[in-house]
Amino acid sequence: MPKLPGIQVVRSSIHGYGVVATRDFAELEEIAEVDGVAWREDEPVDDRYSLWIVDGIYMDMVDQTRWINHSCAPNCEIEADIDENGNAWARIVALRPIQRGEELTYDYAFPLELAEPCHCGTPNCRTMIIDPDELPRYQKLMARRRSAAARRQQRGTGTRG
């Protein structure tokens, strides 16, 4: 696949590989169009690098953009939709001015079912990669699990929570 101009995959200080800007970008400037393969919820695919496009439609990212890391304080966002021909599209847009050399990030905003620990290291890190709207539901779930574990302990039937 051709290399996208303006971005480069590098080893990341956040996690694994990441993507940095190789030039400055202005606020709201398009950084890259995502090349990807659209799929429906009921199709079996490799969805590890998939974007949610609209209800039931996802796009597996197949270019360098798939290496962009999550951050709870991102400098980019994804715009995505279905065009008039029914084709899914997505693009990476700068949320603020970005300088050459900065690592690009966007908020993965995973649903509760897919939430995983976050290591973005930003001051307001949600500790989990999760949609902010799902956070109250997540915290309630964790509180329930903690009290269930505590009850098991009290009865002496639990080993480890």
Q: How far is the CB of 14 from Zn ion (least distance, A)?
A: 9
Q: How far is the CB of 60 from Zn ion (least distance, A)?
A: 24
Among 98, 120, 130, 131, binds Zn ion (CB under 5 A): 120
Among 98, 118, 130, 134, binds Zn ion (CB under 5 A): 118
Which residue type, as a one-letter code, is found at position 20?
A: V
Q: What is the C-alpha to C-alpha distance for residues 150 and 41, in angstroms, rounded to an integer?
A: 37
**Residue 76, both tokens:** 């980019």
Closer Cβ to Zn ion, 63 or 134, answer by number? 134
What is the residue-wise DSSP string for 63-88? SGGGGPEE-SS-SEEEEEEE-TTS-E
Q: How far is the CB of 129 from Zn ion (least distance, A)?
A: 7
Closer Cβ to Zn ion, 94 or 115, answer by number? 115
Tell me if 98 contacts Zn ion by CB under 5 A: no
Looking at residue 35, what DSSP letter applies?
P
Buried b (16+ CB within 10 A) or exposed e, 139-148: eeeeeeeeee
Q: How far is the CB of 38 from Zn ion (least distance, A)?
A: 28
> What is the contact surface with Zn ion in residues (CB under 5 A)?
72, 118, 120, 125
